């Protein structure tokens, strides 16, 4: 009662106004490297990505499995390449992120300064290679991983409320959570390959590097394969 009294005291004179309808258009990006100078940086912070399709895209479940194989778990391709094989980082991961107006795809990692350009080259290799090389073993493992971790998303009231809020935000069906595992299990290798081809576009990739510009720029000039506009900040 006290709370209602306080709210009425401050907001009783507010009038409801009609909201304007608007749409948000997502502009395609043009590939570039943005190098932000931080001379004292002990390592390079690296982000590579672009805008992507929204939460209601038809290939959502295929994208979920694609990301799990590519960079969504410890044994993912990007992490095994950069951490286990090359020793460039303590960890690297990727994500498809969603909001009401669309989405984005991002690879994130912190890299030893001296290995910055090499790490970018390896990430680009993995982004290209996954388009036609997913194995049945990888598909099965990704499905198992996603299904086994699914209950942990609802362990607390906060998690439950957060997840349930996705239903109205993205206009998802009420039985979305009930059907999640079934839909994950339906995904095929071809669907994952198509998701990679349609949702990872080299011509739109924005690479952001925060680190020692002098040391990093020297490395970038050695890799002609980047063939990308460089913007320095």
- 7-27 pLDDT per residue, tens: 888 888 888 777 777 676 777
Of 63-72, 185-194, 217-226, which gets the smallest average pLDDT?
217-226
- Please state, in angstroms and rounded to a whole number, the distance separating the CA atoms of residues 212 and 172: 44
| Mean confidence (pLDDT) of the chain | 93
- Please state, in angstroms and rounded to a whole number, the distance separating the CA atoms of residues 74 and 61: 20
Name the pTM for this structure: 0.87
- Please state, in angstroms and rounded to a whole number, the distance separating the CA atoms of residues 209 and 106: 13
Domains of the chain: 29-232 (3.30.830.10)
Beta-sheet pairing, 206-211 with 229-232: unpaired
């Amino acid at each position: 009662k006290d709370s209602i009294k306080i709210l009425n005291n401050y907001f009783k004179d507010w009038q409801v106004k009609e909201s304007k309808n608007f749409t948000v258009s997502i502009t395609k990006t043009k590939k570039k490297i943005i190098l932000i100078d931080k001379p004292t940086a002990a390592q390079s912070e690296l982000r590579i990505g672009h805008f992507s399709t929204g939460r209601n895209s038809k290939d959502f479940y295929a994208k979920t499995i694609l990301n799990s194989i590519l960079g969504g778990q410890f044994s993912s391709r990007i992490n095994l390449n950069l951490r286990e094989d090359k020793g460039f980082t303590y960890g690297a991961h990727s994500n498809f992120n969603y909001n009401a107006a669309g989405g984005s795809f991002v690879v994130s990692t912190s890299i030893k300064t001296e290995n910055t350009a090499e790490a970018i080259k390896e990430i680009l290799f993995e982004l290209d290679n996954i388009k036609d090389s997913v194995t049945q073993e990888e598909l099965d493992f990704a499905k198992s991983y996603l299904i086994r971790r699914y209950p942990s998303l609802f362990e607390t009231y906060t998690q439950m409320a957060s997840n349930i809020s996705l239903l109205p935000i993205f206009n998802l069906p009420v039985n979305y959570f009930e059907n999640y595992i079934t839909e994950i299990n339906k995904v095929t290798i071809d669907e994952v390959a198509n998701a990679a081809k349609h949702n990872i576009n080299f011509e739109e990739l924005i690479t952001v590097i925060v680190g020692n510009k002098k040391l990093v720029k020297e490395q970038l000039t050695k890799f002609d394969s980047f063939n990308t506009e460089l913007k320095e900040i």
